[in-house]
Structure 1
Amino acid sequence: MTRALILFAHGARAATWAAPFERLRELTQARVPGVPVSLAFLELMEPRLPERVAELAAQGVTAVTVVPVFLGQGGHLLRDLPLIVEQLRLDHPGMAISVSGAVGEDPSVLAAMTDFCVAQL
């Protein structure tokens, strides 16, 4: 099984908005050099999640984990993402697609953010 990791972000009109997400992708890729790590966006930026999954499928990837780099489970993750993933599973039946929780809801991420906030005093 060939695995890949997709960091899934909202997207924005300003291209500079994606810089921290690209840095996160680079840092993540460095930790798992044998696994392709890429970015995909919900809207306003490219590539969108369906295009990224199609690219990975064409490269022979058979298992994808989507990691929403959102602070919480808002409407996009509760309503939009499940519909997109459902369609992706229909479009790519040979690919296992899993979705993690929002990165901002993980206790270790919250602890790191708390450390940052406290350090600003």
Structure 2
Amino acid sequence: MSDTGDYIARILRVDIPTASGATTGLTVLWSSIVNGMACIMLGGGEPGTTQTIVVYVLTQQGRRLAPRIELAITTETDAVEPTPAPTLSSSVPVPPNAIQLLDEAILLDAAGQPYLIA
């Protein structure tokens, strides 16, 4: 995309089609655009498995991309439940690049989504 002047404008969703659904299964905690790149925070994962992650993105020029990522979960540690990400009262995850006001409130858009420092 760099040769076209296009860039990632939004992460539409992140799916893990191979996730087991177990409480210790691989889970998306939050996703955000950081320094122009799609950034996702994952938690959990069954040791000894390889998980497929699909990141659905929309570019500024209207392109839709869905790159697949293969992530090997090593057997070096035991399976544990993921630590929940910070969330708003509406259960919307708050990524670390959300804009926080002086009173520690998170700045939200009209749809209730955090404004991000990208």
Does the TM-score normalized on the shorter chain lie above 0.5?
A: no
Structure whose residues are more often strand by fraction: 2
TM-score (norm 2): 0.23
Q: Which has the higher contact order (CA 8 A, sep 6+)?
A: 1
Q: Which has the larger radius of gyration?
A: 2
